[in-house]
Structure 1
Amino acid sequence: MHHYGVGTPKNLKKALALYEKACELNDGHACSNLGAYYYEGYGVEKDLKKAFQFFTKACDLNYSDGCYLLGELYYKGQDVSQNINKALQYHSKACDLKHAKGCVKLGLIYDDGKVVTKDVKKSLEYFTKACDLKHAEYGIRKLASLWRRHA
């Protein structure tokens, strides 16, 4: 409510305090939102180390957004050494937790073949799962592209 100003005036400081309290109580969604605040510098000073810590806690609590965002940090090498194996691990966990973007990212990685051995079957599997998870628009386009190139 305080984050968006729904039913109350927008108050980022109050939202931040509530997210911190909820994260302390092991709410993965709150931890992930805190990570996003620090990642973007939204209402706080940008701090990728804190973002990393909060995304890690969110993922440890099996919150899929936290796993996906942690995978992105490792994939891009933002404030951590780029580590494709860890990126794959966290994107895979996100996908297993039904995060469609995590599945799409894995599909892209295996389709691209730049950082791992190209694997069309795995790519197809992940794009299909993204479609099944209602991320149809992007998943369907990628599936169509994959079929067109490999049919």
Structure 2
Amino acid sequence: MSEEEILLFQALDYLRSDDQKDHEAAFKILLQCSRKGNKDATLMVGNMYMKGDGVEKNIDEGLGILSGLAYSGHSQALFAIGLYNYLGLFIPKDYETAFNTLMMASGQGEVESNLYIGNMYELGQGTTVNFQAAINYYEKAHQTNKTAHFYLARLLLNMNNPRGRDLMMSLANKKYAPACHELGLLYYEGKFVDKDYQKSKEYFSIAAQKGIITSSYFMGVLYEYGLSVEKDVQKAVEYYFAPSSLGNYDSHQRLKNLAPDLQIPVLSDSCTFEFTKTKPCRQHIFACKTCGLFDTRGICVACARNCHKGHDVIDIGVVTDFYCSCCDNREGCILHKQ
């Protein structure tokens, strides 16, 4: 291992620390490696300037470094600039610039950019709506990215293409919670498969155990009406309770009928970022396709109900090592402005 590689490993080790002084030490090491021509170090230096991580925040300096690296064809620098423009991170949101830059990143082989390009084609952000193009770009990423796999399957199902069922099934068989919920719905409704309440229960059960709110609701329905299971009102109440406490209207109405005296806790409208900041923790997370907050980003329950009301929001369930990304962009989380 070369001296430079040892230094990079040391910097990465410092960045795992919660101590800001360690991050400052990491920045100095990375800056040293960058000045010697290491492009990976240069990328990290640019991003650290953008975030103010280990160094005083300097957007112009960070963008300048990343732009210079991108000009040389560095795929990850192109992706970083595209993502900053797409999400409105540290700079004004600019879908057109984001789309063009992400396309260049994709052309340089940056696989993750294909997920965002697919989403932009699907929603018409920075380009015209083109479902076939969205499918093509999701295809490029879906083998290695479960979010792209899920979005591809979901789009195909929305287009009444039975291949979406097969893709959703392959992802559900890997216990990916959102896919388990979608497959449960297909069996519940008899869409692209024979209606089968027993199979719907199997998939809803997996998704509910992972925290998917609507899956818990459907488990309650199955037990309330005895669909594929012995009718059990008490179990139905238990399944309705969690989604009701998280703001699911249908579950709340069922509980009012089945257990009118049951006290349901009031859902907090506080963004979890107020408590966790950027320190990841175990919590319930949603993705917002409209805002591009998916894959490695997500939003808390309160932000899904408030800041992202009316958006294309997908329940991801309870996950580890996440913080609410609603505050990341320049517009910010509306819950912090109240």
**Of 127, 134, 141, which aligns to 1:130?**
141
Instruction: Supply the distance in 2 between the matched residues of 1:83 and 1:91 (Cα, whole angstroms).
Output: 12
Report the CA distance between 1:57 and its aligned residue.
2.3
Report the CA distance between 1:97 and its aligned residue.
2.6
Instruction: Supply the distance in 2 between the matched residues of 1:5 and 1:115 (Cα, whole angstroms).
Output: 38
Seen in structure 2, the aligned counterparts of structure 1 residues 67 and 148 have a Cα distance that, compared at 3 Å, is: same
Q: Is 64-73 or 120-129 further displaced after alignment? A: 64-73
**Matching of residue 104 in structure 1 with residue 153 in structure 2:** no
**Matching of residue 47 in structure 1 with residue 58 in structure 2:** yes
Percent same amino acid among aligned pairs? 18
Larger relative contact order (C-alpha < 8 A, sep ≥ 6)?
1
Asked if 2 retains the 8 angstrom alpha-carbon contact of 1:27 and 1:58, the reply is: no
Instruction: Report SS of the residue matched to 1:116.
Output: coil
Report the CA distance between 1:39 and its aligned residue.
1.9
Report the CA distance between 1:98 and its aligned residue.
2.6
**Of 64, 74, 86, which aligns to 2:97?**
86
Letter of the structure 1 residue corresponding to residue 147 of structure 2: Y
* Structure with the higher strand share, 1 or 2: 2
Report the CA distance between 1:79 and its aligned residue.
5.6
Letter of the structure 2 residue corresponding to residue 41 of structure 1: G
Instruction: Report SS of the residue matched to 1:56.
Output: helix
Q: Is 48-57 or 20-29 further displaced after alignment? A: 20-29
Letter of the structure 1 residue corresponding to residue 111 of structure 2: A
In the TM superposition, what are the counterparts of 1:53-64 in structure 2 within 5 Å? 53-64=64-75
Letter of the structure 1 residue corresponding to residue 158 of structure 2: R
Letter of the structure 2 residue corresponding to residue 30 of structure 1: A
Seen in structure 2, the aligned counterparts of structure 1 residues 2 and 73 have a Cα distance that, compared at 3 Å, is: closer
**Matching of residue 144 in structure 1 with residue 157 in structure 2:** no
Asked if 2 retains the 8 angstrom alpha-carbon contact of 1:71 and 1:87, the reply is: yes
**Of 13, 18, 21, which aligns to 1:4?**
13
Q: Is 25-34 or 13-22 further displaced after alignment? A: 13-22
Asked if 1 retains the 8 angstrom alpha-carbon contact of 2:138 and 2:149, the reply is: yes
Unaligned runs of 5+ in 2: 1-9, 16-20, 162-338
Instruction: Supply the distance in 2 between the matched residues of 1:112 and 1:92 (Cα, whole angstroms).
Output: 16
Unaligned runs of 5+ in 1: none
Please tell me the root mean square deviation across aligned C-alpha atoms, in Å.
Answer: 2.4
Report the CA distance between 1:102 and its aligned residue.
0.8
Asked if 2 retains the 8 angstrom alpha-carbon contact of 1:27 and 1:61, the reply is: no
Letter of the structure 2 residue corresponding to residue 118 of structure 1: V
Report the CA distance between 1:36 and its aligned residue.
1.7
Asked if 2 retains the 8 angstrom alpha-carbon contact of 1:26 and 1:61, the reply is: no
Seen in structure 2, the aligned counterparts of structure 1 residues 140 and 79 have a Cα distance that, compared at 3 Å, is: closer
Report the CA distance between 1:80 and its aligned residue.
5.0
**Match of residue 41 from structure 2:** 30
Asked if 2 retains the 8 angstrom alpha-carbon contact of 1:41 and 1:47, the reply is: yes
Instruction: Supply the distance in 2 between the matched residues of 1:12 and 1:81 (Cα, whole angstroms).
Output: 27
Larger Rg: 2
Instruction: Supply the distance in 2 between the matched residues of 1:95 and 1:28 (Cα, whole angstroms).
Output: 18
